């Protein structure tokens, strides 16, 4: 075999190894992106589970309070309407790629949380409610659920951060762009939550 042919074969072999290496790297990056995307989806489902738990507690809480505080109709109506708006939303994992739908979901959940807070503040005017065992259990479950929602939202945001960081860093951003991976949205604090609540006596 001639020396030129051997050099050609050697260069060809090196090029093949480089191409195989690049393909394997691309597959590895793609698999990492899929894994991170699935973590975001799983975190999202945990957020949804906790919001559903809260929504399931509301009718019992409202009925318990309604039995004692019959003339607080405006508060009950606000909670019921906020819950109905949340239940009307069509929520699926695709919401994570739709900024308007995601914002609408977050706003509806924030409004429901605000209405529930007003309901619990109203309860302070009824000492007999604070002694009602059913109410105390429901209130405790609701407080626990609100804590779980906060924890799951934080975990979701951490998953989103890992995913968004990966798809924006070089050189993984090439694979992300080619395969259609887009940034996910974070949960944000409700408007006005940066202001301390005013307490008046």
Output the domain CATH number for residue 161.
Answer: 1.20.1440.20
Report the number of distinct structural domains present in the chain: 1
Residue 80 lies in a domain: yes
Give the pLDDT of residue 198: 46
Domain assignment present for residue 21? The answer is no
Residue 68 lies in a domain: yes
Examine residue 15 and state whether it is found in any structural domain, yes or no.
no
Mean pLDDT of the chain: 84
pTM over 0.85: no
Q: Over pLDDT 70: what percentage of the chain?
A: 88
Is 12 part of a structural domain of the chain? Answer: no
Q: Please check the confidence at residue 28 and state whether its pLDDT lies above 60.
A: yes
Respond yes or no on whether the N-terminal peptide bond of residue 171 is cis (omega within 30° of 0). yes
Mean pLDDT of 88-115: 86
144-154 pLDDT per residue, tens: 999 999 999 99
- Structural domain boundaries, residue 96: 57-179
Within a domain: 93: yes
Examine residue 100 and state whether it is found in any structural domain, yes or no: yes
Distances 155 to 37, 69, 152, 198 between C-alpha atoms, Å: 14, 37, 5, 30
Of the candidates 113, 114, 117, 119, the one whose C-alpha atom is nearest the C-alpha of residue 74 is: 119
């Amino acid at each position: 075999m001639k020396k030129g042919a051997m050099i050609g074969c050697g260069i060809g072999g090196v090029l093949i190894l480089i191409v195989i290496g690049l393909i394997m790297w691309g597959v590895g990056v793609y698999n990492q992106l899929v894994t991170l995307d699935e973590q975001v989806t799983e975190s999202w489902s945990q957020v949804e589970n906790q919001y559903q738990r809260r929504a399931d507690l509301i009718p019992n809480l409202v009925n318990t309070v309604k039995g004692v505080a019959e003339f607080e109709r405006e508060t009950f109506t606000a909670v019921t309407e906020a819950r109905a708006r949340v239940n009307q939303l069509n929520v699926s994992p695709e919401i994570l790629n739709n900024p308007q739908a995601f914002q609408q979901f977050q706003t509806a959940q924030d409004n429901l949380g605000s209405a529930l807070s007003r309901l619990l503040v109203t309860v302070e005017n009824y000492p007999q409610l604070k002694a009602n065992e059913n109410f105390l259990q429901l209130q405790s479950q609701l407080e626990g659920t609100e804590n779980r929602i906060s924890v799951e939202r934080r975990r979701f945001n951490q998953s989103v951060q890992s995913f968004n960081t990966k798809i924006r860093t070089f050189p993984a951003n090439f694979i992300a762009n080619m395969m259609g991976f887009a940034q996910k949205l974070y949960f944000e604090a409700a408007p006005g939550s940066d202001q301390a609540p005013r307490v008046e006596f």
